[in-house]
Homo-oligomer: A and B are copies of this chain.
Amino acid sequence: MKLGILGGGQLGRMLGMEGLPLAIDPLFWEPEATACAQLVGEHLCAAYDDPAALAQFAQQVEVCTYEFENVPSPVLGAIAAQVPVYPPLAALEVSQDRLTEKQLFARLGIPTAPYAAVDSEAALRDAVASLGLPAILKTRRFGYDGKGQYVIRSEGDIPAAWQALGGVPLILEGFVNFVREVSIVAARGRDGSTVFYPLSENVHRDGILFTTRARPGDSQQPQAEAIAGKLLAALEYVGVLCLELFDVNGTLVANEFAPRVHNSGHWTIEGAETSQFENHLRAVAGLPLGSTACVGFPALVNLVGTLPPLASLLAIPQVHVHFYGKSEKPARKVGHVTVRTHSESEREQRIAQVIELMQESR
């Protein structure tokens, strides 16, 4: 099957790699000439507003998906008029705007942080008064990895926050006093069948995901599945979705969802019976979904900014290395490792070894 993928970063690359043995052959539409996914599939190197590229792409592919959520939705709409697009356009559009996303959560009875739309400095002052401080001002669109965010701790921060982000639609979110951040990766097939991975427990550093530990059997798994299940059903979703949640003393509060495979699910490549990438491909290709059960005790450590020497990483037992083929750059995700062990304590030991190595090689 020829699968069209919008985007050509590491998520596309990992999708492509897992597609090969299933005879799913990707065509990446990605404007960046050096896109790291191009090694594992055909590369249509063109701007997303190029009508000739659109025609060529839609003509070549049987099904279309995307690997990042800032795809221009009109382009996806034009493709959808010609070939099936999964996940559905509506899911993408909701996820692209923090306000509509929060509104959907509210409509489904899913708890979120308190929020208010902000379109002027005056509206920001009102929102601060109503939500209290601290609070986070965010762009409604195009934020990722902590970008497009400003933490307001006192009223004195308001002008600077407005200065930094104002001019585009914004949202102010109240602080959620969480004990941990988790995410749940789920997949829904074309036939409506749904599977959920064990919870990912996530630790961020400088706004970027740093480590994830799989938590099979977590007491909040049923709560997370119930929330994600509502979302999948409401969106008539097809594909993999990742929902980020705050654990507020046992109650899960939705943060945001991504209509795609997600960094916090990368441990599934070696650490689950079927990876999130394979399950996404199975879902969009109309194939039966695979088991999400854990294999061993998996975790992921992101390699951010720089890559430690390969030989040193491989010398650590139970470590599986994924370099993305991207140039090193501060705050850029350039790879990850999966740790897969036989026990919890062994997992912590391996994570510590990887982190130590990263610090040495910085």
A-side interface residues toward B, CB under 8 Å?
13, 17, 20-23, 25, 39-41, 273, 282, 286-288, 290-291, 295-296, 310-311, 314-315, 317-318, 321-323, 325, 340
Complex interface: chain B residues within 8 A of A21 (CB): 17, 321-323
Residues of B within 8 A of A291 (CB): 317-318
Given A22-B321, A40-B39, CB of A288 within 8 Å of CB of B315: yes
CB of B317 within 8 A of CB of A282, answer no
Q: Are A23's CB and B323's CB within 8 A?
A: yes
Known: A311-B287, A314-B290. A23 touches B325 (CB 8 A): yes
In-complex Cβ contact of A40 among B40, B286, B318 (8 A): B40
Contact of A17 among B20, B282, B311, B317 (CB under 8 A): B20
Determine the distance from Cα of A321 to Cα of B25 in the docked complex, in whole angstroms: 15
A9–B229 CA distance with the chains assembled, in angstroms: 43
Asked whether B318 lies within 8 Å of A273 as measured between CB atoms, the reply is yes
Q: How far is the CB of A201 from chain B (nearest CB, A)?
A: 23
Closest 6 pairs (CB-CB, A-B): A21-B322, A23-B323, A288-B315, A288-B314, A287-B311, A287-B314
**Given A17-B17, A20-B17, A40-B40, also A310-B323 (CB < 8 A):** no
CB pair A310–B325 under 8 Å, yes or no, is no
Do residues A282 and B20 form an inter-chain contact, with CB atoms below 8 A? no
Q: List 21 A-B contacts (CB under 8 A).
A: A13-B20, A17-B17, A17-B21, A20-B325, A21-B321, A21-B323, A22-B314, A22-B321, A22-B323, A23-B310, A23-B323, A40-B40, A273-B318, A282-B314, A286-B311, A287-B314, A288-B314, A290-B314, A291-B317, A295-B295, A295-B296
Extra 5 A-B pairs, beta carbons < 8 Å, given A22-B314, A23-B323, A39-B41: A20-B40, A22-B310, A273-B318, A273-B340, A287-B314
From B23, B39, B288, give the contact of A20 (CB < 8 A).
B39
Measured in the bound complex, the distance between the Cα atoms of B288 and A290 in whole Å is 33
Report chain B residues within 8 Å CB of A318.
273, 291
CA distance A340 to B273 in the complex (A): 9
Residues of chain B within 8 A (CB-CB) of A40 are: 20, 39-40
C-alpha spacing A21/B338, complex, angstroms: 12
Which of A20, A23, A273, A340 has the most CB atoms of chain B within a 10 A radius of its CB? A20
Q: Kindly provide the distance from the CB of A307 to the nearest chain B CB, expressed in whole angstroms.
A: 8
Among B13, B287, B290, B310, the residue within 8 A (CB) of A287 is B310
A344 to B188, CA, bound (A): 31
Kindly state the separation between the CA atoms of A230 and B318 in the bound complex, as whole angstroms. 28
Nearest to A296 among chain B residues (CB) is: B295
Measured between beta carbons, the chain B residues less than 8 angstroms from A310 are 22-23, 287
* Residue in chain B with minimal CB distance to A14: B21
User: With the chains together, A81 CA to B338 CA distance in Å?
Assistant: 38
Please, which residues of chain B bring their CB within 8 A of the CB of A322? 21
Inter-subunit contact B273/A288 (CB<8 Å): no
